[in-house]
Amino acid sequence: MSVSTAVFYLIALITVISAGMVAFSRNIIYSAFSLLGTFMGVAGIYVFLGADFVAAVQVLIYVGGILVLILFAVMLTHRITDVEVTNRAAGRIPGLILVGVLLYLLIDTIKVTPWARAKELVYAASTAKIGDLFLYTYLLPFELASLVLLAALIGAVVLSRKEIKE
Amino acid sequence: MSPNDLSSYLIIGAILFCLGLFTVLTRRNAISVLMGVELILNSANINYVAFSHFSSGNADGQIYAIFVIMLAAAGAAVGLAIVLAIFQLFHTIDVEAAETLRE
């Protein structure tokens, strides 16, 4: 087994185990911090897929933005001095059965289907290609994305400020 | 299972999707539900990038992945703002407490 295969298994293991912690942990703070392992593991998987720019974006936005936001929300909505920071779950057994059946079906489908294969696998820096695509083929969605982000920003500010009651 | 095989990435994506779905289905805490949604979006992104690398060979899938990451950021910002507003109103973030949508 080569070094890269071993690293791939390690990254896949970290990703799946942290995701399991997110799903099964009793403490919401442990769940939030396990999300860090999942996001970093997914970034490593992107590197294995030759998507260096997407990996960098994943680290910047998910780890640097969304995770910090989630941690802030956890800290703001729980009294941190409480020992019992519960993370209640309901209907675990039916959920587990449903999800187990779904996982079995998905893996079975993945194994059976003859997926299309590219002629050759390329491992090249993808940033320039992505920039070209954003400014030619995907120009309209790119501009719409800025509008969506502006609307989300204003919406978040409006929702989270305190209402002045008269 | 090997790093040069499409199906190993798809299986990782499937496992992440199922764990995210389990989180969304069973948690009563609104922030935990949002974490499950983030897991599901990550699994979809793995599939996009894996297909772009192994099946089509061009960068279109990576573009879609970047769009998904961007929309996830916008969604998380608005979702957590709603969660904080609900917490100010009901002093809990149990999703069942907020079913009336008003005091």
Q: What is the complex's ipTM, to 2 decimals?
A: 0.90
- What confidence tens digit (pLDDT) does each residue in B42-82 have? 999 999 999 999 988 788 899 999 999 999 999 999 999 88
Domains and CATH numbers, chain A: 3-123 (1.20.120.1200)
Predicted confidence band of residue B41 (pLDDT cuts 50, 70, 90) = very high
Classify A128 as helix, strand or coil. Answer: helix
- What confidence tens digit (pLDDT) does each residue in A30-64 have? 889 999 999 999 999 999 998 999 999 999 999 99
CB B52 within 8 Å of CB B61: yes
> How many CB atoms are located within 10 Å of the residue A84 CB?
8
Closest CA to B16 of A56, A37, A66, A58: A37
Contact list in B for residue A87 (CB cut-off 8 A) is 27, 29, 32
**Kind and range of the H or E run holding A98:** helix A92-112
Q: How many whole angstroms separate alpha carbon A24 and alpha carbon A62?
A: 21
Pairwise pLDDT comparison (A27 vs A6), residue with the higher score:
A6
Domains and CATH numbers, chain B: 6-100 (1.10.287.3510)
Residue B32: how many CA atoms within 13 Å on its side-chain side?
32
**Percent of chain A's residues with pLDDT above 90:** 57
The answer to whether residue A130 neighbours chain B at the CB level (below 8 Å) is yes
Distance from CA of B41 to the nearest CA of A (A): 11
Q: How many whole angstroms separate alpha carbon A82 and alpha carbon A68?
A: 21
Confidence (pTM): 0.89
Whole-number pLDDT of residue A25: 86
Whole-number pLDDT of residue A159: 85
**Which of B14, B28, B32 is opposite residue A107, by nearest beta carbon?**
B14
Contact list in B for residue A8 (CB cut-off 8 A) is 2-3
**Percent of chain B's residues with pLDDT above 70:** 97
Contact list in A for residue B77 (CB cut-off 8 A) is 69, 152-153, 156
> How many CB atoms are located within 10 Å of the residue B1 CB?
12
**Which of B34, B57, B62 is opposite residue A54, by nearest beta carbon?**
B62
